[in-house]
């Protein structure tokens, strides 16, 4: 069967994707739609979210946009209820929303730690828990959490971000262990440096470190054995695999996609 005639790997399934207004979330949404998934898309910027919907429109799947700030637990609960009600259930949840604050450890403020943890950890915990409860009643499902190589080892000048992504990796492993024999697959993707909007966080980091952003970019790329940034589409292909039946034998994994960076 050729690529032109095979059914999409996510055909007929319903997926919730957070942080879908740009970057990795947008790339994942576009590829999920191309693979036949119906998409409930959420982000804080509804106008940008509508742009993502427009980019997915030609796929012939159902699409819904829902503006929400995942730092607010009540908003998270409301968006999940809306997603479940939209097409009478969810098969896939992609916890992609995230924020980055980079600076030396001694310069972080507690409110910055709180902000990052609310988006990068608490929202992932809450949505994963809600999804597990929902999927237990449906015979299973797929949960894909966006972690980072920052969740695998230490890094300079981003201790708060690394802390949050280590938490996502640990949460993924533990939740997967408890649901491994119940038809639910929970895995994490650990991108390295990606050529998406999140990479723009280097501007903030460069300012905090008082170095030119071009210099910091070169330092980053020099750490990647492939000599280039990973693309959003490459990460999206991994997300499709983890959301499809092809990965039924995998759970609790945190998979790097980093151009060989260790």
Question: DSSP E strands: which ranges in 106-246?
Answer: 141-146, 184-191
Q: Which ranges of 180-212 does DSSP label H, i.e. alpha helix?
A: 201-209
The per-residue pLDDT for range 57-82, each reduced to its tens digit, is: 999 999 999 999 999 999 999 999 99
Is residue 122 flagged as an active site residue? no
pLDDT of residue 195: 84
pLDDT of residue 1: 41
Q: Quick check: pTM over 0.85?
A: yes
Pick the CATH number of 14-246 from 3.40.50.720, 3.40.50.970, 3.40.50.1000, 3.20.20.10: 3.40.50.720
Domain boundaries, the chain: 14-246
pLDDT of residue 2: 45
Q: Which residues contact 192 (CB under 8 A, 6 or more apart)?
A: 148, 149, 224, 230, 256, 257, 258, 259, 261
pLDDT of residue 197: 59
The list of the chain residues with pLDDT below 50 reads: 1-2
Catalytic site residue from 100, 108, 122, 161: 161
């Amino acid at each position: 069967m050729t690529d032109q005639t095979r059914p999409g790997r996510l055909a007929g399934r319903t997926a919730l994707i957070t942080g879908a207004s740009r970057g990795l979330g947008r790339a994942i949404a576009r590829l999920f739609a191309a693979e036949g998934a119906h998409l409930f898309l959420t982000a804080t910027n509804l106008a940008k979210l509508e742009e993502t919907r427009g980019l997915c429109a030609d796929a012939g799947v159902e699409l819904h946009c829902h503006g929400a700030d995942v730092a607010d637990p009540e908003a998270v609960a409301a968006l999940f209820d809306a997603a479940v009600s939209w097409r009478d259930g969810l098969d896939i949840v992609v916890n992609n929303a995230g924020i980055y604050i980079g600076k030396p450890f001694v310069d972080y403020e507690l409110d910055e730690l709180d902000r990052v943890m609310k988006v990068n950890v608490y929202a992932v915990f809450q949505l994963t828990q809600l999804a597990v409860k929902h999927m237990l009643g449906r015979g299973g499902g797929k949960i894909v959490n966006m972690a980072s190589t920052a969740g695998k080892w230490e890094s300079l000048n981003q201790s708060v971000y690394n802390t949050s992504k280590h938490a996502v990796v640990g949460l993924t492993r533990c939740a997967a262990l408890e649901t491994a024999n119940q038809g639910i697959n929970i895995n994490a993707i650990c991108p390295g440096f990606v050529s998406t909007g999140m990479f723009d966080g280097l501007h903030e980091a460069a300012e905090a470190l008082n170095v030119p952003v071009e210099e910091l970019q070169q330092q980053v790329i020099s750490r990647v054995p492939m000599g280039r940034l990973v693309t959003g589409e490459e990460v999206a292909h991994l997300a499709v695999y983890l959301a499809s039946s092809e990965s039924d034998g995998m759970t609790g994994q945190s998979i790097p996609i980093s151009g060989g960076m260790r």
